[in-house]
Chains A and B, each alone.
Chain A
Amino acid sequence: MPKKRIPVAILGTGNIGTDLCARLLRDSDFEVVAIVGRRIDSPGLKFFEGKVPNIIPNGLTGLNNISDKFVGVFDATSAFDHLEHWAALKKRSKWMIDLTPSKIGVPIVPELVGKVKAMEMSRDPIANYSMVTCGGQSSAPLLYAMASHATGISEVEVSSSIASLSAGPATRRNIDQYIESTENLVHLLTGCNAVKAILVLNPSDPPVMMRSTVQMKVKTSNLAAIQKEAQAIVLRINRYVPGYQIVVEPHLANPGQISATVKVTGAGYFLPDYAGNLDIINAAAVETARTHALNFPPGLE
């Protein structure tokens, strides 16, 4: 007998929403019951005709009409819209995975759950998890490894560069929220208050792979331990983001200043390989949803 799949809906038909949908359609743990856009002629919606049973062109209103058909929702719209979406879906007892940088939900980096205080899965089936940002997801392993084997952290900086083609209109309009949400995660993982996030869009052709560089000012550090710890987390993340790798090992750029760079090559599911930034956040979203849903299997609620 086939196991019961987790019925979910996706809000948003941009780069992130479409890649996420393609990803979930291949995942035997999930059943995508609806994809929701705002225009009937949206290319994202057209693409999934015949593959997803409910193609909804009228936003939240349309989704509310079939709310008995799904248990959770992935929101790939914008930080501003997420507020309204969460308010409505919470009332209908759904969990949500927020792929916008809204800072409403609990920030989750799947591989760090249980290792970092304040990064825990919900005990309530109605929950909101924030995937933070691609810069946050990609730098988190380095931040965690550095913070675990250093003392006296006085300053932390995360700078990321992504291919312009991989930054959709919402990302561009949300660039301040991107920075604030990433900085919030950096603070959470390191305890440091002097944090800075930077995002650079690179229009090169052929497009560049995403890179994130962490700089951390510390009193003391154990570089060998940091390298080992970071490498171990990278290997675990490679199970669902194969193209995630350290390209500049943690090293002392200056006395008391640790630095390292990761690169993310996308798996090329639906989007090209330069969209590793979307890959890493979507992979994190799927892992988080899986863990949460398995904690609350349908029928036990």
Chain B
Amino acid sequence: MSRLYDVTLRDGNHALRHTLTPEFVADYCAAADKSGVWAVEVGHGNGLGASSYLVGKSFETDHNLLVSARENLKYSKLAVHSIPGFATIERDLAPAIEIGVDVFRVATHVTEATTAEKHIEFLANKDVIVHGVLMMSHMISIDGLIEQARLMKSYGASAVVLMDSAGHFIPMEVYERVDALRNSLEIEVGFHAHNNLGVAISNASTANQAGASIIDGASMGLGAGAGNAQLENIVAYAVKEGKPSFEISEFLGMSQLVEKSFPDNLPRTNSSSIESGLAGVFSGYAPQVKQISQEFGVEVSVLWQEMGKRKLVAGQESMIREIAQDLMNL
């Protein structure tokens, strides 16, 4: 079994509308630290410095959430997600190093790896682990994916993580991509699933079979849209495969902690998530799509389809209103 990368306290913050508190971070980290997960990622759903009107205001500062996590992680590494264009080196990355973050994942839309050059270079020269993340990884050919991963490696990333941000992949597509990366680049590969089509666990497991050594998951699947690959299910799957390198009971404990703390925010696949998954649109838009479809009286499915047609990438929340306006004026 590969290393497990726990995104509950980061991707889960999408499901919580960025209301995560330092208190919950402390409780969850204390539990996760005993589970054997390799890293716990913490912060705003869109990463460091992303708290904004555009993608959602965070109730807490990055600083407070990270300090709380740092105090409660001894064995698992403390990790952050960070997108150039939202975060800057001076305002966000440097302070996070000061707090003691161990793993930095510098993320870009799958075609825009060049925007990560300065950030990855900066981190690669510090005493931290730096990974490159390619978000919305379904929006490029396999050759293109290899080229973008190669760029991130050349800047100094020690691993490249494919994010299925829209929950668009089925297992075969995951296998092809991870396999192609493993065969063409000498770099560790990670995979991050979303469950829009109900196949997140299969995708995570397939990525692992294809050679991905870092597998993302979230307790109770707490994540954007239909949620992530459910962490405790990934472990259960490994147990069934006869690879019980983790203690399932620890993961069930983390799962129960999330379930009882956020009963109203638990993600699930529903008609809206299936629409967005098929359309290949970032799942994190779900709350805005719901709100704007009600405000304008536009069908949720029509809005998702139009967003898919216009190939929206993550971070374009302000376009949803304009698209709804256009649909009304047709």
A interface, CB within 8 angstroms of B: 157, 159, 161, 164, 169, 172-173, 175-176, 179-180, 196, 198-205, 208, 211, 213, 215, 247-248, 253, 257, 259, 261
CA distance A179 to B88 in the complex (A): 8
CA distance A43 to B109 in the complex (A): 28
Partner of A176 from B53, B90, B139, B314 at Cβ < 8 Å: B90
CA distance A159 to B319 in the complex (A): 11
For the complex formed, measure the closest distance between the CB of A185 and the CB atoms of chain B, giving whole angstroms.
16
Which residues from A are CB-within-8-Å of B109?
Answer: 201-203
For the complex formed, measure the closest distance between the CB of B116 and the CB atoms of chain A, giving whole angstroms.
9
Interface positions of B from 42 to 63, Cβ below 8 Å from A: 52-54
Partner of B318 from A173, A203, A257, A261 at Cβ < 8 Å: A261
Judging by beta carbons under 8 Å apart, are A200 and B139 in contact?
no
Interface positions of B from 291 to 330, Cβ below 8 Å from A: 310-316, 318-319, 321-322, 325
Instruction: Jot down 7 A-B pairs with beta carbons below 8 A, ordered by A.
Output: A161-B319, A175-B85, A198-B52, A198-B54, A202-B312, A203-B311, A261-B322
Given contacts A175-B115, A180-B88, A259-B53, 13 further A-B contacts (CB under 8 A): A161-B319, A172-B112, A172-B115, A173-B117, A175-B118, A176-B118, A196-B52, A198-B52, A201-B109, A202-B312, A211-B319, A213-B318, A261-B318
For the complex formed, measure the closest distance between the CB of A205 and the CB atoms of chain B, giving whole angstroms.
7
B111 in contact (CB, < 8 A): yes
Q: A176 and B52 in contact (CB under 8 A), knowing A201-B109, A201-B115, A248-B322?
A: no
For the complex formed, measure the closest distance between the CB of A44 and the CB atoms of chain B, giving whole angstroms.
19
Judging by beta carbons under 8 Å apart, are A176 and B89 in contact?
yes
CA distance A161 to B89 in the complex (A): 20
Which residues from B are CB-within-8-Å of A175?
Answer: 84-85, 115, 118
Closest 4 CB pairs of A and B: A215-B53, A204-B311, A213-B318, A200-B315
Judging by beta carbons under 8 Å apart, are A203 and B53 in contact?
no
Which residues from B are CB-within-8-Å of A179?
Answer: 85, 88
CA distance A257 to B57 in the complex (A): 13
Which residues from A are CB-within-8-Å of B311?
Answer: 202-205
B114 in contact (CB, < 8 A): yes
Judging by beta carbons under 8 Å apart, are B85 and A199 in contact?
yes
Chain B interface size range: 20 to 34
For the complex formed, measure the closest distance between the CB of A260 and the CB atoms of chain B, giving whole angstroms.
10
B86 in contact (CB, < 8 A): yes
Which residues from A are CB-within-8-Å of B53?
Answer: 157, 159, 215, 253, 257, 259
| Chain A CB within 10 Å, residue with most, of B85, B139, B312, B319 | B85
Interface positions of B from 83 to 136, Cβ below 8 Å from A: 84-86, 88-90, 109, 111-112, 114-115, 117-118
Judging by beta carbons under 8 Å apart, are A161 and B115 in contact?
no
Which residues from B are CB-within-8-Å of A196?
Answer: 52
Which residues from B are CB-within-8-Å of A200?
Answer: 85, 313-316
Which residues from A are CB-within-8-Å of B310?
Answer: 204, 208
Judging by beta carbons under 8 Å apart, are A159 and B52 in contact?
yes
Judging by beta carbons under 8 Å apart, are A164 and B112 in contact?
yes
Judging by beta carbons under 8 Å apart, are A215 and B54 in contact?
yes
CA distance A145 to B304 in the complex (A): 33
Q: A201 and B112 in contact (CB under 8 A), knowing A175-B84, A248-B325?
A: yes
Judging by beta carbons under 8 Å apart, are B316 and A248 in contact?
no
Judging by beta carbons under 8 Å apart, are B321 and A248 in contact?
yes
Which residues from B are CB-within-8-Å of A173?
Answer: 114, 117-118
Which residues from B are CB-within-8-Å of A204?
Answer: 310-313
CA distance A203 to B136 in the complex (A): 12
Interface positions of B from 116 to 170, Cβ below 8 Å from A: 117-118, 139
Which residues from A are CB-within-8-Å of B313?
Answer: 200-204
CA distance A261 to B325 in the complex (A): 12
| Chain B CB within 10 Å, residue with most, of A196, A198, A257 | A198
For the complex formed, measure the closest distance between the CB of A178 and the CB atoms of chain B, giving whole angstroms.
8
Question: Which of chain A's residues has its CB closest to B92's CB?
Answer: A176
Interface positions of B from 26 to 75, Cβ below 8 Å from A: 52-54
Which residues from B are CB-within-8-Å of A257?
Answer: 53
Question: Which of chain A's residues has its CB closest to B310's CB?
Answer: A204
Which residues from B are CB-within-8-Å of A198?
Answer: 52, 54, 85-86, 315
For the complex formed, measure the closest distance between the CB of A228 and the CB atoms of chain B, giving whole angstroms.
21
For the complex formed, measure the closest distance between the CB of B119 and the CB atoms of chain A, giving whole angstroms.
8
For the complex formed, measure the closest distance between the CB of A213 and the CB atoms of chain B, giving whole angstroms.
4
For the complex formed, measure the closest distance between the CB of B287 and the CB atoms of chain A, giving whole angstroms.
14
CA distance A159 to B46 in the complex (A): 14
Which residues from A are CB-within-8-Å of B84?
Answer: 175-176
Which residues from A are CB-within-8-Å of B139?
Answer: 203
Q: A164 and B111 in contact (CB under 8 A), knowing A157-B54, A213-B318?
A: yes
CA distance A211 to B117 in the complex (A): 25
Which residues from A are CB-within-8-Å of B117?
Answer: 172-173
Judging by beta carbons under 8 Å apart, are B85 and A201 in contact?
yes
CA distance A173 to B84 in the complex (A): 10
Q: A159 and B318 in contact (CB under 8 A), knowing A201-B109, A203-B313, A248-B325?
A: yes
CA distance A208 to B318 in the complex (A): 14
Which residues from B are CB-within-8-Å of A259?
Answer: 53
CA distance A199 to B318 in the complex (A): 12
Question: Which of chain B's residues has its CB closest to A208's CB?
Answer: B310
Judging by beta carbons under 8 Å apart, are A213 and B111 in contact?
no
Which residues from A are CB-within-8-Å of B318?
Answer: 159, 161, 211, 213, 248, 261
For the complex formed, measure the closest distance between the CB of B107 and the CB atoms of chain A, giving whole angstroms.
12
Partner of B54 from A164, A176, A201, A213 at Cβ < 8 Å: A213
